Amino acid sequence: MAFIEVKDLTKIYQMGEVTIKALDNVSFSIDEGELVVVLGPSGAGKTTILNILGGMDSPTSGEIIVDGTDISKFNRKELTKYRRFDIGFVFQFYNLVGNLTALENVSLANQICKNPKDSKETLASVGLKDRMDHFPAQLSGGEQQRVSIARALAKNPKLLLCDEPTGALDSKTGKMIIKLLQDTCHKTKTTTIIITHNAVIAQIADKVIRVKNGTIEDIIIHKKPKSVEEIDW
């Protein structure tokens, strides 16, 4: 059985008298340890998929089975536990705490999860061994995003969810971040999902899920994903 099974997922938002169907009978599966890119333009439904997989939103209907458990049936308390213990989030704008050092930001994860990784080792693994005592304002955008990734990885999550992780970065730095995510996924076997509108990034994925107008347009399997060095930005 796949690590993630999404079956007939529908999400409807009610905005006053207007009904918006953000997702319409979406189904896909993801294996453990896969690097998956969910690709599509703005408004396609990518972030809604991420929010539901991450337990930040609930579906209108359908099943979301993660590691054998249907999270679509979770109540608010169960979703909070799921987010805390099982999910690592990487956001476009880093979401670091400004008055904490890089190490303190990563150490936050240790306080809320069951089996955290060592904060210093995790920061070193993303290339920030010499920047641990720096505050976010003293770090470049790429370094801040690496802290964000280290914070997510320090939770030792079952699932790493990345929402446009290169969106606020220049192409060279973005390439470094994607390489870090690809290398980390392969090395730690952490199931990783990257949400993006950038088709170039899709070339490094084991699986690409193309989303359009709230539906799955196509699912592409890459038997030999490209390395970051092989793709043109």
pLDDT at 221: 97
pLDDT at 110: 79
Percent of the chain with pLDDT over 70: 100
pLDDT at 169: 82
pLDDT at 167: 85
CA 100/CA 108 separation, integer angstroms:
10
Q: Residue 13 in 3-state DSSP?
A: strand
Q: What is the DSSP string of 79-140?
A: HHHHHHHHEEEE-TT----TTS-HHHHHHHHHTT-SSPPPHHHHHHHTT-TT-TT--GGGS-
Q: Considering the chain, what is the average pLDDT of its residues?
A: 93
CA 8/CA 178 separation, integer angstroms:
30
Residues of the chain with pLDDT under 50: none
pLDDT at 58: 94
Q: Nearest-CA neighbor of 185 among 17, 26, 37?
A: 37
Residue with tokens 């359009």: 212
What single DSSP character describes residue 213?
A: T
CA 145/CA 90 separation, integer angstroms:
8
Q: Which domains does the chain have, with CATH numbers?
A: 4-95+159-230 (3.40.50.300)
pLDDT at 57: 95
Q: Are 30 and 2 in contact (CB under 8 A)?
A: yes
